[in-house]
Structure 1
Amino acid sequence: MTDTIVSAANPLVKRMRQLASRRYRRKEGVFLVEGAQPVWRAVEAGWDIETLVVAPDLLAGSAAARMVADQEARGTRVARLSAELFTRLSDREGPSGLAAIVRCRTTRLDDLAVGPGAVFAALHRVGNPGNLGTVVRTVDAVGGAGVVLVGETADPYAPAAVKASMGSLFAVDVASAPDADTFFAWAEANGVQVAATSGYADSDHWHAAYRTPLAVLLGSEGDGLPDDLLDRADLRVRIPMVGTAESLNLAVAAAVMLYETRRHAPGLGG
């Protein structure tokens, strides 16, 4: 049993706080996960855990506490914090008492599994990490094959993205394409149909001729997809809107599209 950390000046605590910075995450190649369910999913999925961070008084008696003990017996480093300090560090109400520092994974675009029934979400310059994490969670829910980040986007390892994914980040491959040319070249080489979303498209999303493998391409929260990307897509579809709202939240639009493609695409079932 190691000593319980009670000081915010402890090097591990400082490291946890520094992981809020994208630059620091990139430099160190790690990110922070909080919550019993997401941490458990990271462990089960075989991600490289640098440190499990535990508040024993908060976690006591739970199944997660037994999982931590098992991981510690296997050689995983475990750091113990006081409940008061853990709560101060947490961004959640009623924290579970479990967090982890996890090694980042790099998935290359060409490493994505493009099977006959594969469906991907492709996000062009998405800026909100919460939206990004929610899309990852939705792709997981529909049985999708992965997420492609096109151009400069939010960081999938940002705290808000990790939190919004609810552990799905550890089940869904997330790859990056540095620009639209790279994305469309990958789609063409792999026979992936690209369905781009636009409020000005002629066809609505209910009646589009989807085929798999398929990538649903969505634009940034503020600007949507630029015309040159819409022109290069195989399909251009819109989600009908009849109220006074001018647009849908990006993550909501992605969910609508992904579940519609699940209904149409034989590879995902109905």
Structure 2
Amino acid sequence: MSSRRYRRREGVFLVEGAQPVWRAVEAGWEVETLVVAPDLLSRTAAGLVAEQEARGTRVARLSAELFTRLSERDGPAGVAAIVRSRSTRLDDLAVEPGAVFAVLHRVGNPGNLGTVVRTVDAVGGAGVVLVGETADPYAPAAVKASMGSLFAVDVAHARDADAFLDWAKRHGVQVVATSGYADADHWSAEYRPPLAVLLGSEGDGLPDDLLDRADLRVRIPMTGTAESLNLAVAAGVVLYEVRRHAPDFRR
């Protein structure tokens, strides 16, 4: 299932590892098939598999050798799941008074995308919005990096920047754009949830026209020799600062 075209056509994706599979089940996502290597399962994982099989979930059993060869993890836990994907529309996102979203414009690295989803989950954010052509949140690297948070955080897609900005305006969402050239440091800005922290692609950042249309522009001060931060790290820095400044920040 490494092919995005295949995932789109079939509407399913692969989740590997006891914790992410358990989180998918607990969140009520549709698990089509559990793929297991009985000899590799922990007692807890074996109990999960037995419970789901008793409820009618199909279980495919492999040898430990075959599962290990197919796994993309070191020391595989012996359990994976084929899960049916979900489609969340922008207007399906719940915009509560204290809601905070992470918005990724044309992000290309699925690992970064998955890490941002995990960070939004950790900080109590309301969701993630992907703008334009982006990495696939159901790509193996994104699913792995999310560590199961993909099943707790709504991920919606906006076809382009205009669609996102229109949604933000209709719902009274403050758009906070990140830029190394902004005048305000991220720790001194005035955040007014509901808001969306807007981050650009790994290589190019946000285009000037999108920066100009944001309600607020902030920068993360760089005092060392590094020219920039990893996208997911930058998202975490700003999101936690928003949480510190905005006491009503909640999912």
Q: TM-score range by the shorter chain?
A: over 0.9
TM-score normalized with structure 2 length: 0.99
Instruction: Measure how far apart 1:267 and its partner are.
Output: 1.8
Counterpart in 2 of 1:30? 12
**Aligned partners of 1:232 and 1:223: how far apart in 2?**
17
The size of the alignment, in residue pairs, is 250
Say which SS state the counterpart of residue 31 (structure 1) adopts.
Answer: strand
The structure 2 residue matched to 1:157, chosen from 129, 133, 138, is: 138
**Aligned partners of 2:21 and 2:176: how far apart in 1?**
34
Q: Does 1:138 align with 2:119?
A: yes
TM-score normalized with structure 1 length: 0.92
Say which SS state the counterpart of residue 206 (structure 1) adopts.
Answer: coil
Instruction: Measure how far apart 1:94 and its partner are.
Output: 0.5
Counterpart in 2 of 1:101? 82
Q: Does 1:77 align with 2:58?
A: yes
Counterpart in 2 of 1:6? none
Counterpart in 2 of 1:14? none
Counterpart in 1 of 2:219? 238
Counterpart in 1 of 2:108? 127
| Amino acid in structure 1 at the alignment position of 2:178 | T
Greater relative contact order, per chain length (Cα 8 Å cut-off, separation 6+): 2
Q: Which is greater in Rg?
A: 1
Counterpart in 1 of 2:161? 180
**Aligned partners of 1:65 and 1:41: how far apart in 2?**
15
Following TM superposition, where does structure 1 have runs of at least 4 consecutive aligned residues deviating by more than 6 angstroms? none
**Aligned partners of 2:101 and 2:45: how far apart in 1?**
32
The structure 2 residue matched to 1:44, chosen from 26, 34, 39, is: 26
Q: Deviations over 1:212-254 (max 9, x none)?
A: 0010000000000000000000000000000111000000000
Instruction: Measure how far apart 1:268 and its partner are.
Output: 2.4
| Amino acid in structure 1 at the alignment position of 2:122 | A
Point out where structure 2 has 5 or more consecutive residues left out of the alignment: none
Q: Deviations over 1:67-120 (max 9, x none)?
A: 110110000001101000000000111000000000000111000010000000
Note if contact 2:38-2:62 (Cα within 8 Å) is conserved in structure 1: yes
Instruction: Measure how far apart 1:266 and its partner are.
Output: 2.0
Say which SS state the counterpart of residue 63 (structure 1) adopts.
Answer: helix
Point out where structure 1 has 5 or more consecutive residues left out of the alignment: 1-18
Note if contact 2:111-2:145 (Cα within 8 Å) is conserved in structure 1: yes
Q: Does 1:117 align with 2:98?
A: yes
Say which SS state the counterpart of residue 100 (structure 1) adopts.
Answer: strand
| Amino acid in structure 1 at the alignment position of 2:121 | D
Say which SS state the counterpart of residue 198 (structure 2) adopts.
Answer: strand
